[in-house]
């Protein structure tokens, strides 16, 4: 691959990685500790991730267990979970917080799959926009006589192949997540 494509490849990779991170936060009926990655709690005046103030485990397929290092953090963690868009109600016994995931209805699964497809389409649009930026840049280089017309065609073809590979990866990630959601 031409070195001039590296920066665009990097940007496309970030789009795919961002999609994967978004998918990790989608609740598929199974307990996934990554759902809590974006939550921050006030820990002595400092916003901290849940992972840095508690031990997070998945003792059963539908339960996430959060055991704070300090018991006084239980109320703060509960408050953050209730304020989040997770749609889960925390249960605590004074030492640990349990998040119990209800079984998803068929209708909710279909809604989630639609959301997954929408996020994938947005990622594909981002990748195509990066391709457009690359091609515009190459055309300016050709206009400024920095590269020949043949080099321009070669760069455009390589850029298209790169775009196709990332779009295919997005499709594969989307299919995996859709299958995970629809699996009862």
In CATH terms, the fold of domain 3-24+105-182 is Topoisomerase I; Chain A, domain 4 (1.10.132)
pLDDT of res. 61: 80
Cα separation, 65 vs 63, whole angstroms:
6
Tokens of 88: 């889960």
The answer to whether the CB of 92 falls within 8 A of the CB of 78 is yes
Res 184 pLDDT > 70: no
Rg for the chain, CA atoms, rounded = 22
DSSP string, 3-68: GGGHHHHHHHHHHHHHHHHHHHTS--SS--GGGGTT-EEEETTEEEEHHHHEEEEEEETTEEEEEE
Cα separation, 177 vs 171, whole angstroms:
10
Domain ranges of the chain: 3-24+105-182, 33-100
Give per-residue pLDDT as tens, 134-165: 999 999 999 998 989 999 999 999 999 999 99
Per-residue pLDDT band for 129 (boundaries 50, 70, 90) equals very high
Give per-residue pLDDT as tens, 170-181: 999 999 999 888
Decide if 3-24+105-182 and 33-100 have a common fold: no
Give per-residue pLDDT as tens, 56-105: 998 888 888 999 988 888 888 888 888 887 777 888 888 899 988 878 78
- Nearest C-alpha neighbor of 59 from the set 84, 96, 105, 102: 96
The answer to whether the CB of 181 falls within 8 A of the CB of 116 is yes
Comparing 35 with 78, which gets the higher pLDDT? 78
Res 125 pLDDT > 90: yes
Res 29 pLDDT > 70: no
The mean predicted confidence, pLDDT, of the chain is 88
Comparing 168 with 51, which gets the higher pLDDT? 168
Residues in a beta bridge with 45: none
In CATH terms, the fold of domain 33-100 is Gyrase A; domain 2 (3.30.1360)
Q: What is the mean pLDDT of residues 40-45?
A: 87
């Amino acid at each position: 691959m031409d070195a001039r494509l590296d920066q665009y490849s990097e940007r496309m990779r970030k789009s795919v990685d961002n999609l994967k991170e978004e998918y990790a936060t989608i609740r598929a009926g199974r307990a996934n500790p990554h759902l809590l990655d974006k939550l921050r709690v006030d820990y002595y005046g400092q916003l901290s991730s849940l992972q840095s103030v508690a031990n997070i485990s998945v003792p059963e397929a539908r339960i996430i267990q959060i055991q704070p290092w300090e018991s006084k953090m239980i109320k703060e963690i509960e408050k953050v979970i209730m304020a989040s868009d997770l749609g889960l109600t925390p249960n605590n016994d004074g030492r640990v917080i349990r998040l119990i995931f209800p079984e998803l209805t068929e209708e909710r699964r279909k809604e989630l799959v639609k959301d997954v497809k929408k996020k994938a389409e947005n990622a594909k649009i981002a990748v195509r926009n990066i391709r457009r930026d690359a091609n515009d840049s190459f055309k300016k280089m050709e206009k400024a006589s920095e590269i020949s017309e043949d080099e321009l065609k070669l760069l455009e073809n390589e850029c298209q192949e790169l775009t196709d590979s990332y779009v295919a990866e997005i499709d594969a990630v989307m299919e995996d997540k859709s299958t995970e959601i629809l699996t009862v």
